[in-house]
Chains A and B, each alone.
Chain A
């Protein structure tokens, strides 16, 4: 059927836009492993990792089973609240889902004692001065709720 026939067929018919909405509650369970991580952030201002001895790797956030080899025997490991910036990006356009006012610096941070980078934000420094390899330290939120934002952000060390 060609375009021309369609045009004739719908001559004088007004398309419209129909406004709708969905409004639905969700709750996602962290599981026992990640719960322990969040509780340690909240109650002890401590960052926990999980270590796989087969892979000789410590994962932050911790995983119940090794994401590399699938082993179930993970050990708890304390990692430092400070680490090194592996990569970063500066976001300048404000989006609804962003917890802070732009510019926001998102960074992958490898904490001392961990083998993996953890995604978080860097603040307390001008975005232009953030560098790969920079040392940063966790700034814990004064009020903590068992959430990843119990670490408010990472700031330059020293």
Chain B
């Protein structure tokens, strides 16, 4: 895999998010997007005239509006501008960020606006996700994104009691974070004392995946504005630099459940993280990063993936959760925003990870700001059945 250095540096100069919620009947799609566009322009201190290109992303099947970027021009302000539409499933928000970064790094544009949105209430998420599977075969069996397989794996490896408590602890920590983020969709006010009760009473969806452990379906939009180094320094007093990003794919993995240890099965998260750290000379990611905004569709996945993303061994990842090191104020804070479990407007979700990581670096996250200085941040995107986008963000241009 050849990977070359950027032609020029790219920084984030503007961030705008709507409030995430289960329903936004009061606005149509372009009107909802417009809220985030206005917020991002205001944050960047620029107008639409300054934007050279708009990158627009969502999952079209979720709302069944094809070529939504055309209708949405009313809200995006892309009229008369270059506009690129991207759809890559759960990762779409991360992919539009990669595209914006590459478009500027290449020298094609100076300022690019990335727009991720979804109005899941309008469509049928299961319908969209099921249509992703192999039409000749697996589509007939699969309905939606729910699986108990991760719970099965973690329980198999660490025993039922410890595994269930770690998963629920992660879930409660995310809720505690979401309570501090006014934009979060679901913030229940859960307490650690409720852990055993929730393990017992929260309805099971599939296997040991419980209702409360699964992410929500949300409406909302997120907009991030990127600029070349020269303009970023002119326009922003605290641009956040995109150091690197990586995307790793593999074919769909609906049938990869042989549980045969003699046949190792490389996972994209671990593979992507390895490549990214190697080419950036990072030996210990847990030491290096100050915050990680992870695409965590369910607490079971999240717990397991911490190990992959940080190249951890044994039960180190469980200890990070058990010892509350992933909390705001902990050693390796994860998802101060509340994460995807709290808010999941799918096309925006992975971009929200990057936006929230950048807010942490800027120190602008408000109530959910990490108390210690944030210089290095990691953001992940995940798409089904299994592919990965990772983005590294930096406060200083000194790497």
Contacts and interface: CB of A to CB of B under 8 A. Distances in A.
Interface of A: 18, 20, 22, 24-34, 63-65, 67-68, 70, 72
B122 interface: yes
Chain B: number of interface residues, binned into ranges: 20 to 34
**Leading 9 A-B pairs by shortest Cβ distance:** A24-B127, A31-B28, A31-B27, A24-B124, A29-B25, A64-B31, A67-B74, A32-B26, A26-B64
A136 to B, nearest CB: 25
Contacts of B131: 22
Contact of B74 (A28, A30, A63, A72): A63
A25 B124 CA distance: 7
A64 B27 contact: yes
B14 interface: no
Contacts of B119: 29
B139 A64 contact: no
A27 B122 contact: yes
Given A26-B124, A33-B31, A70-B47, 5 more contacts: A26-B63, A28-B29, A67-B73, A67-B79, A72-B38
Nearest to A63: B74
Contacts of A20: 135, 139
Contacts of B180: none
Interface string B76-98: 01010000000000000000000
A65 B136 contact: no
Contacts of A70: 34, 38, 47-48, 77
B384 interface: no
Contact of A65 (B34, B122, B139): B34
Given A31-B27, A31-B28, A70-B38, A65 B75 contact: yes
A26 B26 contact: no
Most buried by B among A18, A25, A29, A65: A29
Contacts of B74: 63, 67
B135 A18 contact: yes
A100 B275 CA distance: 58
Contact of B64 (A18, A24, A34): A24
18 contacts: A20-B135, A20-B139, A22-B127, A24-B124, A25-B124, A26-B122, A28-B29, A28-B65, A29-B24, A29-B28, A31-B28, A64-B27, A65-B31, A65-B34, A65-B75, A68-B79, A70-B34, A72-B38
A29 B34 CA distance: 15
B142 to A, nearest CB: 13
Nearest to A59: B74
A4 to B, nearest CB: 26
A68 B64 CA distance: 26
A29 B28 CA distance: 6
A70 B24 CA distance: 20
Nearest to B219: A29
A29 B122 contact: yes
A51 to B, nearest CB: 16
Contacts of B47: 70
